[in-house]
């Protein structure tokens, strides 16, 4: 994975499976042993209640496991 990958995903919009904007990537978590990204940390859009979402929040950011990502392009689309 290229070194610049992290800078490429930070600030990308994150859309749910219906195509609605959930927020923007603020950061991500990496497994130190493998070097793999394990979660993206999403700054949730105003008006979205994080308690209604299936993922935990970490320091005010929604922690979405990478297994929930369907595709990464101009936006990050989450799977159903």
pLDDT in tens, 30-57: 999 998 899 999 999 999 999 999 999 9
CATH topology (fold) of 5-78: SH3 type barrels. (2.30.30)
- Mean residue pLDDT of the chain comes to 91
For the chain, domain boundaries:
5-78
Q: Give the chain's end-to-end CA distance (angstroms, integer).
A: 26
Cα–Cα separations (whole angstroms), residue 16 to 5, 30, 36, 44 = 22, 22, 23, 12
Whether the pLDDT of residue 77 is over 60: the answer is: yes
Can you give the pTM of this predicted structure?
A: 0.88
Whether the pLDDT of residue 9 is over 90: the answer is: no
Residue percentage of the chain with pLDDT more than 90:
79
Q: Which residue has the higher pLDDT, 6 or 48?
A: 48
């Amino acid at each position: 994975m290229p070194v610049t990958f992290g800078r490429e995903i930070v600030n990308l919009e994150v859309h749910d499976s219906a195509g609605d904007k959930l927020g923007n990537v603020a950061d991500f978590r990496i497994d130190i042993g493998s070097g793999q990204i394990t979660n993206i940390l999403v700054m949730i859009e105003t008006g979205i209640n994080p308690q209604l979402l299936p993922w935990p929040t970490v320091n005010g950011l929604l922690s979405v496991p990478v297994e929930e990502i369907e595709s990464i392009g101009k936006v990050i689309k989450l799977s159903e």
